[in-house]
């Protein structure tokens, strides 16, 4: 079974960049433009990993992670947060919401892939 990754970012270019990198590495990618869309998709589909930006309109990434963790199907799904700063405050927030880890932006494709390989 192909590994499906849900990539969430409000910036289309970042989303495509992530998606492009992941697809080349052989992953299936589903894109969502914000937390609301992502949550809606996740409710009726299953994915192996969630990769989300933090700052997004409608629903931010931290809230998305928190909401997803409430779903039985996502109890044990790795969720990575893309952030620009990894200060202790942000980490605590992400942790509390249930994020597995984070990837600090800007990142390069190799780092993205290495990080994902780590949790899958």
Partner 1 sequence: MDMEMEEILNLFFEESLEGLDTMESGLLTLEDGADRETINTIFRAAHSIKGGAGTFGFMEISQFTHSVETLLDEMRNGTRGITPDAIQVLLQSVDVIREMTQSAQAKTPIVMTGANALSGELARILAQKSVPAPATGQAAAPPPPNPSPAPPAAAAKRDPAPTDAAPTGPLEGWRIVFTPDTSLFKTCNDPLRIFEELTNLAPLEVTANIDAMPAFGDLDPTQCHLSWTLLLRGAIEHSRIAEVFDWVDASSKIEYEPIHGTGGSGAPVDRPIAENAKPAAPRTTPAADAHPPVSTAAKSGGEAGSLRVATEKVDALINLVGELVITQSMLGRFAEKYEPSDIEALRRSLAQLTRNTRELQESVMQIRMLPIGFSFNRFPRLVHDLSRKLGKKVELKLSGENTELDKTVLEKIGDPLVHLVRNALDHGLEAPESRVAAGKNETGTLELNAFHEGGSIIIEVKDDGAGLNKDRILAKARERGLVDSDAMLTDEAIYNLIFVAGFSTAETVSDVSGRGVGMDVVRRNINDLGGHVQIFSVKGKGSTIRIRLPLTLAILEGQVLRVGKEIYVASLVSIIETVQSTRASLSCVAGRTELFKHRTDYLPIIRLHDLFGIEPDSREISDGLLVVLEADGRRVAMLVDELLAQQQVVIKSLETNFKQVPGLAGATIHGDGTVALILDVPGLIRTFLERQGMNMGRAA
Report d(CA 6, CA 40) in Å as an integer: 12
Applying CB under 8 A, among 43, 45, 71, 119 the residue interacting with partner 1 is: 119
Nearer residue to partner 1 within complex by CB, 45 or 84? 84
Strand ranges for 1-120 from DSSP E? 4-8, 28-32, 49-53, 79-83, 101-104
Distance of CA 4 to the CA centre of its chain: 12
Applying CB under 8 A, among 5, 6, 7, 10 the residue interacting with partner 1 is: 10
Give me the residues that bind partner 1 (CB under 8 A), please.
10-14, 16-17, 20, 53, 55-57, 69, 75-79, 82, 84, 86-88, 91-92, 95, 98-102, 104-111, 118-119
């Amino acid at each position: 079974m192909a590994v499906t990754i849900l990539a969430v970012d409000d910036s289309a270019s970042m989303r495509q960049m992530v998606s492009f990198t992941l697809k080349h590495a052989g992953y299936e990618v589903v894109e969502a433009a914000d937390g609301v869309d992502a949550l809606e998709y996740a409710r009726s589909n299953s994915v192996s990993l969630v990769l989300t930006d933090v700052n997004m309109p409608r629903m931010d990434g931290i809230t998305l992670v928190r909401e997803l963790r409430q779903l039985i199907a996502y109890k044990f799904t790795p969720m990575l947060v893309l952030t620009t700063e990894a200060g202790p405050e942000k980490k605590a927030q992400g942790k509390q919401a249930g994020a597995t880890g984070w990837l600090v932006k800007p990142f390069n494709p190799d780092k993205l892939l290495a990080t994902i390989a780590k949790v899958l």
